[in-house]
């Protein structure tokens, strides 16, 4: 089993956790965590690079020592240093540090004094009031520990971006109505458009921070106040979502926006540039000595470290700072670039809007084209169409399409990839289609090798033009099938099969890192909503956000082209079939 970058990152993170618990040098701990980040966000497989005998490229935060350790992990699957640490520090303690309010120091302290290693033992110790007896801890800390253990039992997952947006919208309006409030922006991972968010960070520019804190804490949906100060308040809403509100003056708004948008790693990276230039960046501004030299806008703040403004979706410290320094930031795609949708269902299969309703909804979005892609027969749960019914449906789509001058309706199908890699439609029907979207819908539990060869076989089929939702994952529901994605991406580039960025907010498949990895090997993409209702055409925005996080530009995305451009860029249908058309 090949070692993935994520495996290496997990080992480094575990080393960091154990080093921290053993009281090791905090900067050394940080070095391991930084290395883990660096490895995890690197788009090529380090194992592949090493096994093929190439040099490991220079990665940020990885020096000679850690490079050697990556080699050791790839070659042996293990790290001797980790084994050594595991024999010295009880590994159970790592889980305790994940409890909010408990870090390595306190976990170690409680372990040393009471021998507590597990959550259960911790709960017992807290209930019998043994925690408060430890010098440096107290009654409040003990109660907080119990509260956190209780909360854990009804564990809150990261929420999907769409749910965070729905929750935040009324709260933003509520805060905007407060006297003295000038601007309200949801920052954090929400503004970076991550597929899920752990909490919602709201930045308020105002002249009366204390009032804003009081009014926010009194928001009717607040279930619990976790912290409340003069500038910052943290609450949990009834929905379980955590919300932070931070208030600053208008003159600091740009600096605060940079700080509060993150990511943390991006901020650290630009602050380090600041340190080299003898300036200090914080949420109030940029300072040279005591003198404030910027802070009102984000552009001003970036300019002090000689960087152009960087799109929030790129702020992950995954190379955007180097790109910005060298003037090579990508011109990432925008919603307005999208000219049509290539994946949509209707009431004939598992959709909830009629063909005409879907077409009219696409027209109202000013699309130039819309592909109707009903399921094929194997997907029985979605009322997939047998060849005969599919042929009838294609005729209906063609006829309906002729009624509309503003848009071209493409006859498509979402063709099931069967377990042997063949396509779920006979050639004579494949030939009638304008667009062929292929996807896996069952047998998720094949081995990685079986699943990979199944999908590769489908991609080698000359009729396969688009691979839809390539991993099959659903956010917070299932992780997707095991498949060799780098091999899929290479095949996509080689055969000219476009990879779908599925815009369903629960799919967003491919994800950001995979989109970028596929782009780097030369693959092309489509962004499609997989709509089952007219209202879902709006999901295009989510797909575009994910694509932006994956550094995709207009030229990478085929449905940003005119109909003519799209059709000439999609993989060509087999010549033999075309010749007798």
Partner DNA sequence: GCCGTTTTCGGCCCGACTGTTTTCAGTCG
List of residues contacting DNA (CB under 7 A): 25, 27-28, 30-32, 35, 60-67, 81, 97, 99-107, 132, 135-142, 144, 188, 198-199, 201, 227-233, 244, 262, 264, 267-268, 271-272, 274-276, 278, 280-284
> What's the rounded Cα separation, in Å, for the pair 509 and 208?
43
Smallest gap from residue 4 Cβ to DNA (A): 20
Nearer to DNA, 270 or 417 (CB): 270
Quickly tell me which residue has 């999609």 as its tokens: 570
Q: Nearest distance from residue 378's CB to DNA, in Å?
A: 45
Would you give the distance in Å from CA 47 to the centre of its chain?
A: 24
C-alpha 281/C-alpha 34 separation (Å) is 20
CB of 19 to DNA, least distance (A): 9
Identity of the residue, 61 or 462, whose beta carbon is nearer to DNA in the bound complex: 61
Distance between CA atoms of residues 67 and 74, nearest Å? 11
Are 199 and 241 a contacting pair, CB within 8 Å?
yes
Shorter beta-carbon distance to DNA: residue 28 or 366: 28
Residue closer to DNA by CB (options 119, 456) is 119
CA contacts within 13 A on the Cβ side of 380? 0
Question: Quick one: 293 or 487, whose CB is closer to DNA?
Answer: 293
Quote the CA–CA distance of 392 and 385 in Å, as a whole number. 10
The residue (of 85 and 171) whose beta carbon lies closer to DNA is 85
State the nearest-atom distance from the C-beta of 545 to DNA, in Å.
Answer: 20
Residue closer to DNA, measured from CB, 304 or 461 = 304
Q: CB 476 → DNA: shortest distance, Å?
A: 19
Nearer to DNA, 245 or 492 (CB): 245
Residue matched to tokens 């550094």? 551
209 or 423, CB closer to DNA?
209
Of residues 161 and 423, the one with the C-beta less far from DNA:
161
- CA–CA separation, 244 vs 439, rounded Å? 40
Q: Please state the closest distance from residue 519 (CB atom) to DNA, in A.
A: 25
Q: CB 436 → DNA: shortest distance, Å?
A: 45
Local structure of residue 223 (DSSP, 8 states): E
CB of 557 to DNA, least distance (A): 32
C-beta atoms surrounding 262 within 10 Å: 21
Specify the residue for token string 């009629």.
Answer: 354
Nearest-angstrom CA–CA distance, 431 and 573: 8
Q: b/e for 303-317, b at 16 or more Cβ within 10 A? A: ebbebebbbbbbbbb
Which residue has tokens 């699943």? 451
Neighbours of 156 (CB within 10 A): 14
User: Do 258 and 267 meet the contact criterion of CB atoms below 8 Å apart?
Assistant: yes
540: three-class secondary structure by DSSP: helix
Q: How far apart are CA 524 and CA 536, in angstroms?
A: 24
Rounded CA-CA distance 354/409 in Å is 14
Q: What is the CA radius of gyration of the chain?
A: 27
**Residue 48 Cβ vs DNA, minimum distance, rounded to whole Å:** 21
Backbone angles phi, psi at 292, to 5 degrees: -85, 125
Least Å from the CB of residue 107 to DNA = 6
Q: Are 243 and 260 in contact (CB under 8 A)?
A: no
Q: Using the minimum distance from each CB to DNA, give the nearer residue, 35 or 359.
A: 35
Q: Is 408 helix (H, G, I), strand (E, B) or coil?
A: strand
Beta bridge partners of 282: 285
- Taking the complex as a whole, the smallest distance from the CB of residue 398 to DNA amounts, in Å, to 53
* Angle at the Cα of 277 from the Cα atoms of 273 and 279, rounded to 5 degrees: 90
Q: Please, which residue, 14 or 532, has the CB nearer to DNA?
A: 14
**Rounded Cα distance, 291 and 306, in Å:** 18
Residues 518-541 as b/e (b if ≥16 CB within 10 A, e otherwise) read bbeeebbbbbbbbbbbbebbebbb
Question: Which is nearer to DNA, 144 or 346 (by Cβ)?
Answer: 144
Backbone φ and ψ for 22, nearest 5 degrees, come out as: -85, 5
Closest approach of Cβ 242 to DNA, in Å?
7
Pair 359, 370: CB distance under 8 Å: yes
DSSP 99: S
By beta-carbon proximity to DNA, the closer residue of 202 and 458 is 202
């Amino acid at each position: 089993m090949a070692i993935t970058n994520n495996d290496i990152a997990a080992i480094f993170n575990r080393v960091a956790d154990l080093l921290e618990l053993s009281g090791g040098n905090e900067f050394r701990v940080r070095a391991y965590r930084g290395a883990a980040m660096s490895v995890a966000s690197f788009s090529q497989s380090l194992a592949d690079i090493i096994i093929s005998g190439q040099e490991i490229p220079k990665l940020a935060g990885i020096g000679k020592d850690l490079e050697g350790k990556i080699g050791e992990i790839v070659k042996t699957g293990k790290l001797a240093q980790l084994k050594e640490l595991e024999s010295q520090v009880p590994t159970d303690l790592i889980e305790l540090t994940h409890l909010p309010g408990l870090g390595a120091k306190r976990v170690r302290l409680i372990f040393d004094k009471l021998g507590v290693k597990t959550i259960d033992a911790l709960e017992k110790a807290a209930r019998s009031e043994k925690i408060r007896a430890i010098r440096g801890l107290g009654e409040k800390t003990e109660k907080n520990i119990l509260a956190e253990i209780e909360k854990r039992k009804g564990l809150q997952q990261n929420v999907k971006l769409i749910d965070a947006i729905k929750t935040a919208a009324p709260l933003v309006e509520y805060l905007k109505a407060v006297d003295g409030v000038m601007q309200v922006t949801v920052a954090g991972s929400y503004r970076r458009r991550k597929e899920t968010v752990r909490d919602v960070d709201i930045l308020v520019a105002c002249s009366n921070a204390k009032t804003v804190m009081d009014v926010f804490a009194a928001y009717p949906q607040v279930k619990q106040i976790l912290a409340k100060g003069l500038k910052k308040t943290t609450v949990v809403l009834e929905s379980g979502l955590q919300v932070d509100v931070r208030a600053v003056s208008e003159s600091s708004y740009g600096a605060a926006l940079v700080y509060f948008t993150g990511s943390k790693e991006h901020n650290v990276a630009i602050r380090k540039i600041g340190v080299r230039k003898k300036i200090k960046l914080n949420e109030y501004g940029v300072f040279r000595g005591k003198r404030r030299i910027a802070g009102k806008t984000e552009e001003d703040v970036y300019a002090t470290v000689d960087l152009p403004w960087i799109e929030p979706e790129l702020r992950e410290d995954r190379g955007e700072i180097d790109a910005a320094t060298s003037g090579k930031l990508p011109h990432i795609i925008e919603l307005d670039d999208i000219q049509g949708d290539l994946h949509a269902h209707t009431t004939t299969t598992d959709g909830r809007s009629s063909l005409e309703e879907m077409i009219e909804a696409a027209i109202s979005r000013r699309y130039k084209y819309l592909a109707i892609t009903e399921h094929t027969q194997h997907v029985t749960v979605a009322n997939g169409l047998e060849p005969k019914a599919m042929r009838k449906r294609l005729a209906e789509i063609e006829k309906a399409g002729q009624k509309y001058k503003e848009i071209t309706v493409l006859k498509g199908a979402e063709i099931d990839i069967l377990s042997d890699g063949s396509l779920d439609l006979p050639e004579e029907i494949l030939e009638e289609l304008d667009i062929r979207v292929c996807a896996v819908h069952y047998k998720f539990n094949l081995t990685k090798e079986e699943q990979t060869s199944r999908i590769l076989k489908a991609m080698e089929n000359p009729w396969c033009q688009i691979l839809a939702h390539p991993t099959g994952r659903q956010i917070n529901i299932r992780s997707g099938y095991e498949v060799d994605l780098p091999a899929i991406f290479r095949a996509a580039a080689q055969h000219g099969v476009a990879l779908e960025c599925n815009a369903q907010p629960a799919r967003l498949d491919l994800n950001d890192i995979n989109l970028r990895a596929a782009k780097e090997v030369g693959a092309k993409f489509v962004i499609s909503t997989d709509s089952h209702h007219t209202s879902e055409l709006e999901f295009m925005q989510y797909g575009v956000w994910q694509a932006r996080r994956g550094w995709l530009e207009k030229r990478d995305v085929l449905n940003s082209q005119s109909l003519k451009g799209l059709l000439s860029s999609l993989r060509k249908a087999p010549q033999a079939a075309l010749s007798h058309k």
